[in-house]
Amino acid sequence: MDSAEQEAFEATIAADSTIEPRDWMPEEYRRTLIRQIAQHAHSEIIGMQPEGNWIGRAPTLARKAILLAKVQDEAGHGLYLYAAAETLGVSRDDLERRLLDGRQKYSSIFNYPTLTWADVGAIGWLVDGAAIVNQVPLCRCSYGPYARAMIRICKEESFHQRQGFDILYTLTRGTDEQRAMAQDAVDRWWYPSLAMFGPPDAISTHTERSMAWRIKRFSNDHLRQKFVDMIVPQAEVLGVRLPDPALRFNAKTGHWEFTPPDYDELFAVISGRGPANRQRLTHRRTAYEEGAWVREAAVAYAAKAAARAASQSSGTAGPPRAPAVPDEVA
């Protein structure tokens, strides 16, 4: 390693500036980013499944249109994140294979089933709420492409949280059955949402180094606390009870005290033993296999378009034109 390069890297981090793909970076920094960004991208793509389960059963046309837009946003988030990871020298196809053969993870939260329509509200309110708290600081992450991708993602996550809140708000002002359905969903999603922030700081493998590199700006426990402080007043507005008898405001610290999630359950879910792990990965594998022809067609089309462009610039006739696609028709 060249010490001038190492010094330039450290000076960039210390100055709160961004590391860009062309810059030298330590291999461990690169590996950490690939791990985190890929895990994040996989979470967005796998995260389309639990809510996608309700698109065909949304209670009104407006709810269906909103949910479709949200799930499409998640596909877009996955795309920006895979593109950010590719700037680190890995291919999207390689990352997808690492997900499918279990070498890379995705968020624990998406291994829980969506049993009722109220679950779509609870996911928007709690899961996207947790995502915002976790991801807003990533807009200031030290790696430029990741930080820039996160800015747009966070704007869309705010809309996602509002739609979840709105679903629950409507249900809690509905019939007794609708109120009970909303409460049941909150009861089931509360602790898995707290677990999204990862293991407690004392046993978190990566936090210290990731914070030193300014990939993570705050620790897992810090963000978990921030989330609870944000959610408790919102639960009061909604009129739902958070399922934690120990929840109480500590006037000295200015924070809500709460029961932490069951971390044994988190580790079990991460290691493949959650209620829906098998279903999520099986679905993803099928989609990957069934989408092979689309990827092949896109690669063949890009090769033809590149050959045509090359022949036009060199003045030779080149291969025949590929069939026109709509955006090529002037």
Contact residues for ligand BYC, defined by CB under 6 A: 35-36, 39-40, 43-44, 47, 74, 105, 107-108, 127-128, 131, 134-135, 195-199, 204-207, 210, 216, 220, 270
Separation between Cα atoms, residue 143 and residue 300, nearest integer Å: 33
Residue 185 CB neighbour total at 10 angstroms: 26
Q: How many alpha carbons lie under 13 Å from residue 107 in its C-beta half-sphere?
A: 27
Q: Shortest gap between Cβ of 204 and ligand BYC (angstroms)? A: 3
Task: Kindly tell me which of 268 and 305 has the beta carbon lying closer to ligand BYC.
Answer: 268
Type of residue numbered 10: E
Q: Shortest gap between Cβ of 8 and ligand BYC (angstroms)? A: 25
Separation between Cα atoms, residue 118 and residue 186, nearest integer Å: 8
| Residue 143: φ, ψ to 5° | -95, 115
Separation between Cα atoms, residue 147 and residue 88, nearest integer Å: 14
Q: What share of the chain is helix, strand, coil (3-state, %, to 5)?
A: 70, 0, 30
Read off the tokens for 39: 């895990």
Q: Which single residue brings its beta carbon nearest to ligand BYC?
A: 47
Q: Shortest gap between Cβ of 228 and ligand BYC (angstroms)? A: 16
User: Is the Cβ–Cβ distance between 8 and 41 less than 8 Å?
Assistant: no
Separation between Cα atoms, residue 127 and residue 50, nearest integer Å: 12
Task: Kindly tell me which of 263 and 301 has the beta carbon lying closer to ligand BYC.
Answer: 263
Q: Shortest gap between Cβ of 237 and ligand BYC (angstroms)? A: 22
Q: Shortest gap between Cβ of 208 and ligand BYC (angstroms)? A: 9
Q: Which residues share a beta bridge with 255?
A: 250
Q: Shortest gap between Cβ of 18 and ligand BYC (angstroms)? A: 17
Task: Kindly tell me which of 74 and 96 has the beta carbon lying closer to ligand BYC.
Answer: 74
